[in-house]
Amino acid sequence: MTTLSESPVLQESPYVPRFGTIVESRMLTAQEKFFRIVMEDGRPLDYKPGQFVEVSIFGIGEAPISICSSPTQGGFFELTVRKAGMVTAKMHELNTGDTVGIRGPFGNGFDPAAIKGQNVLFVAGGLGLAPARGLIRWVFDRRADYKDVTLLVGARTPADLLFRDEIKEWQSRPDCQTLVTVDRADETWTGNKGVITRLFRKIKIDPANTFAVIVGPPIMFKFAVLEVLSEGVPENHVICSLERRMKCGLGKCGHCQIRNVYVCQEGPVFTYDFVKKLREGI
Amino acid sequence: MSRLLPRANLEGVVAALRSAGYRVVGPVRRGSLVTYDEISSAADLALDVIITRDSIKKFVLPRTEVVARFNRDAAGKVSVLDATAAPQPTVILGCRPCDAAALPIDDLVFAWDSTDRFWFSRREAVRLVTIACANCDESCFCTSVGGAPDSPEGSDVLLTETAAGDYEVQALGERGAELLAKFPGLRDAPAADRRVAAVPQRFDLSAAVTALEKNFESPFWRQTALRCVGCGCCTFVCPTCHCFDLVDEGPAYHSERRRNWDACQMKNFTLHASGHNPRPWQEHRYRQRIMHKFLYYPSRLGRTLCTGCGRCVRACPVNLSLLQVVSDLAAGRANALPTSAGEVKK
């Protein structure tokens, strides 16, 4: 039988993954592991922040994972993987030097050009910080293109907080306001306590010139949207990234469908005025 | 004048197609079921049945198919191997018009944005010799969704039974003419009376679509889907249902990636890794199937995702009839339900 490198047919097959090498890996929390990956064939993944890839563990299966890096940073991409099922559990056993299969990138991703020249408010809860981080890093790497940047980050407990070192770095930046809260604090925690929506009391929003990027679990999304809308941010300036059980990534297998939209193709990033009409969206 | 295939010559057709290198399949009896399977003689064909239990979908979108193979060597190095075998040239003899019509509808989803070569390589290898329906039953509703018991849609050759029991032959397109040239014993004959079932129109499709647009949140769905057990039977027998799953199987050192039939009626179909499920209840999943077929797919790809074969009506273990549900919608019975009264606390 011919192999991938010998068969042009196979190289074209949308179901056949390319190989990626893990060049950096570390645990972010007890449940989440971080990977930096470089494509083995030397052809970098041509991606936008907010897109996702299907990661293969050969013989175990595939899982859709958001890219958490920005293409402004180099010829690699990064993933944050929560241990939740068979594939992700196996991924947690992998380390620097190991190989995974990669299909994609899939989806529309964030459009950093569309929010240029505006204030950007990020509201990221839990694992939602991973996809949001791609755009956050883009904005910091092109900082002059954007006006005021505000980051609201929420986690269930201090131990669940992702990218703690980076968040500290963001907090020390003079060109942005970064607020962090946890739902349930412990004795070591000196920061904000309570759900992420409570942070809205501490910030000022200029609704006419602000885009709000909201990524997090459905319950957080519902309430965070209410906050930004009540501040007067227009619905088409509220940007969210939806989670779905993507399988093929090609708009065929049906898993990610919401009404007549394939989230793996037209999404996962939508504006709220559109998501609202989908009704089954959130 | 028309081209006629005497019924006695069906045997010659099977032999000719087989010697031309085709696998010939048709409706055959397997115990108490009638299913599409390979035949070696026209005598195997169960042409008296109205419709088979399963559709011809399995010849284009198999229940399970390998889309890639992986080898892992002793050092742990993985190589991806080609899994594409040329599909076997196949003639489906005795296909029904409602089955043939399903393939061009599904072509749309397998061709939009990117072309699915697994679907289209099989599609290319399969020829449909359809026999128009001389009879129908109370579950048939092709005429309600734009089809007909003698529709040529999707077929390569259409056979229509005459009063004398022979078949009037019609080749459709180049593929059909090429195939028909292989049929022995055709003769010209004066047009005879044709035996075609009178399938009554059961509902007004546009009224059903309007009702779906208005009733996403109607209590109609809960009331209707209460008895649905979520077995997915309706999707598996359906000629147009095409959702699939991708899974890896086999030992890690020599595994396969397979594409298997999946069903929107299953809870796990949309279950996220987080435990959140955007369609948590059966009513949501039942609504999805009806909405997808009659509202979403047509609005996106231009065709109703149903050919009226009625298989889901016959196969449902709890007698939850799609025909009845869509008829109810078209008759405005969902609109009549109050939207807030009778809410059940979940």
Burial class (CB in 10 A: 0-12, 13-18, 19+), A198: middle
Quick one: closest CA in A to B297, which residue? A260
Q: Are residues A83 and A119 in the same domain?
A: no
Say if residue A200's pLDDT is above 80. Answer: yes
Q: Is residue A232 part of a domain?
A: yes
pLDDT band at B82 (very low <50, low <70, confident <90, very high): confident
Confirm if B130 and B157 have CB atoms less than 8 A apart: yes
The verdict on A257 touching B (C-beta cutoff 8 Å) is yes
Listed in sequence order, the residues at least 6 apart from B139 whose beta carbon sits closer than 8 Å to its beta carbon are: B310, B311, B313, B314, B321, B323
Residues of A in contact with B270 (CB under 8 A): 244-245, 255
- The reply to whether residue B216 touches residue A279, judged by beta carbons under 8 angstroms, is yes
Between the alpha carbon of residue B43 and those of residues B8, B29, B257, the distances in Å are 10, 11, 39
Q: Is residue A171 part of a domain?
A: yes
Listed in sequence order, the residues at least 6 apart from B48 whose beta carbon sits closer than 8 Å to its beta carbon are: none
Q: Is residue A8 part of a domain?
A: no
The C-alpha atoms of residue B328 and residue B323 are separated, in whole angstroms, by 8
The C-alpha atoms of residue B210 and residue B147 are separated, in whole angstroms, by 20
Provide the pLDDT for residue B334.
86
Q: Between A280 and B69, whose confidence is greater?
A: B69
- Report the range out of A227-236, B75-84, B185-194 with the highest average pLDDT: A227-236
Q: Are residues A118 and A204 in the same domain?
A: yes
Q: Which of B259, B238, B244, B255 minimizes the C-alpha distance to B304?
A: B238
Q: Are residues A98 and A158 in the same domain?
A: no
H helix runs in chain A, sequence order: 8-12, 86-92, 129-141, 164-172, 218-230, 263-266, 272-278
Q: Between A209 and A15, whose confidence is greater?
A: A209
Query: In the predicted model, what is the mean pLDDT of residues B114-118?
Result: 89
Q: Is residue A84 part of a domain?
A: yes
Q: Is residue A165 part of a domain?
A: yes
Confirm if A18 and A40 have CB atoms less than 8 A apart: yes
Say if residue B260's pLDDT is above 90. Answer: yes
The C-alpha atoms of residue A277 and residue B149 are separated, in whole angstroms, by 39
pLDDT band at B112 (very low <50, low <70, confident <90, very high): very high
Give the nearest partner residue to B80 out of A4, A60, A62, using CB atoms. A4
Q: Are residues A161 and A227 in the same domain?
A: yes
Give per-residue pLDDT as tens, A39-53: 999 999 999 999 999
Q: Is residue A23 part of a domain?
A: yes
Q: Are residues A117 and A101 in the same domain?
A: no
How many CA atoms within 13 Å lie on the side-chain side of B222? 14
Query: In the predicted model, what is the mean pLDDT of residues A98-118?
Result: 95
Token pair, residue A65, equals 């994972």
Using DSSP, state whether B194 is helix, strand or coil: strand
Provide the pLDDT for residue B346.
41
Using a pLDDT cut of 70, give the percent of chain B over it.
97
State how beta strands A18-27 and A32-39 pair. Answer: antiparallel
Q: Which amino acid is at A25?
A: S
Residue spans of beta strands (DSSP E) within B118-229: 126-131, 157-161, 167-171, 187-189
Give per-residue pLDDT as tens, B33-51: 999 999 999 999 999 999 9
Q: Is residue A203 part of a domain?
A: yes
- The reply to whether residue A1 touches residue B82, judged by beta carbons under 8 angstroms, is yes
| Structural domains of chain A, count | 2
pLDDT band at A2 (very low <50, low <70, confident <90, very high): low
Burial class (CB in 10 A: 0-12, 13-18, 19+), A65: buried
The verdict on A61 touching B (C-beta cutoff 8 Å) is yes
Listed in sequence order, the residues at least 6 apart from B241 whose beta carbon sits closer than 8 Å to its beta carbon are: B57, B234, B235, B263, B305
Strands of the sheet containing B244-249, edge to edge, are B78-81, B64-72, B254-261, B244-249
CATH number for the domain harbouring residue A63? 2.40.30.10
Q: Of A50, A76, A105, which marks where a domain is finished?
A: A105
Residues of B in contact with A56 (CB under 8 A): 248, 257
The verdict on B284 touching A (C-beta cutoff 8 Å) is yes
Query: In the predicted model, what is the mean pLDDT of residues A108-134?
Result: 97
State how beta strands A261-262 and A257-258 pair. Answer: antiparallel
CATH number for the domain harbouring residue A139? 3.40.50.80
Q: Are residues A116 and A211 in the same domain?
A: yes
Using DSSP, state whether B63 is helix, strand or coil: coil
Q: Output the pTM of the full model.
A: 0.92
Q: A258 vs chain B: nearest CA distance in angstroms?
A: 9
Provide the pLDDT for residue B345.
40
Give per-residue pLDDT as tens, A125-178: 999 999 999 999 999 999 999 999 999 999 999 999 999 999 999 999 999 999
For B247-260, the DSSP string reads: EEES-TTEEEEEEE
Query: In the predicted model, what is the mean pLDDT of residues A61-87?
Result: 95
A96 phi and psi angles, rounded to 5 deg: -50, 130
Say if residue A13's pLDDT is above 80. Answer: no
The C-alpha atoms of residue B86 and residue B54 are separated, in whole angstroms, by 24
Confirm if B265 and B289 have CB atoms less than 8 A apart: yes
Between the alpha carbon of residue B327 and those of residues B217, B324, B332, the distances in Å are 18, 5, 9
Q: Are residues A127 and A189 in the same domain?
A: yes
- Between positions 99 and 158 of A, the ones with CB within 8 A of B are 99, 101, 127
- Between positions 47 and 86 of B, the ones with CB within 8 A of A are 67-70, 72, 77-82, 84
The C-alpha atoms of residue A12 and residue A237 are separated, in whole angstroms, by 38
Q: Of A73, A105, A137, which marks where a domain is finished?
A: A105
The verdict on B111 touching A (C-beta cutoff 8 Å) is no
Q: Are residues A83 and A32 in the same domain?
A: yes
Quick one: closest CA in A to B78, which residue? A58
Provide the pLDDT for residue B83.
76
Provide the pLDDT for residue B344.
44
CA A92 to chain centre: 19
Residues of A in contact with B243 (CB under 8 A): 253-255
The verdict on B266 touching A (C-beta cutoff 8 Å) is no
Between the alpha carbon of residue A74 and those of residues A28, A67, A71, A77, the distances in Å are 21, 14, 6, 8
- The reply to whether residue B272 touches residue A17, judged by beta carbons under 8 angstroms, is no
Q: Which of A21-25, B83-87, B286-290, B313-317 has the lowest mean pLDDT?
A: B83-87
Q: Are residues A212 and A196 in the same domain?
A: yes
- The reply to whether residue B78 touches residue A99, judged by beta carbons under 8 angstroms, is yes
Say if residue B343's pLDDT is above 70. Answer: no
Q: Of A57, A76, A105, which marks where a domain is finished?
A: A105
The verdict on B302 touching A (C-beta cutoff 8 Å) is no
Q: Are residues A101 and A117 in the same domain?
A: no
Residues of B in contact with A16 (CB under 8 A): 67-68, 80
The C-alpha atoms of residue A95 and residue A90 are separated, in whole angstroms, by 11
Confirm if B37 and B20 have CB atoms less than 8 A apart: no
- The reply to whether residue A4 touches residue B274, judged by beta carbons under 8 angstroms, is no
The C-alpha atoms of residue A183 and residue B41 are separated, in whole angstroms, by 72
Provide the pLDDT for residue A7.
60
Confirm if A19 and A99 have CB atoms less than 8 A apart: yes
Q: Are residues A33 and A97 in the same domain?
A: yes
Q: Is residue A256 part of a domain?
A: no
Give chain A's mean pLDDT.
93
Q: Are residues A87 and A143 in the same domain?
A: no
Provide the pLDDT for residue B289.
97
- The reply to whether residue A254 touches residue B252, judged by beta carbons under 8 angstroms, is no
For A9-33, the DSSP string reads: HHHH-TTSPEEEEEEEEEESSSSEE
Listed in sequence order, the residues at least 6 apart from B158 whose beta carbon sits closer than 8 Å to its beta carbon are: B97, B130, B132, B150, B152, B169, B170, B172
Domain span including residue A196: 112-241
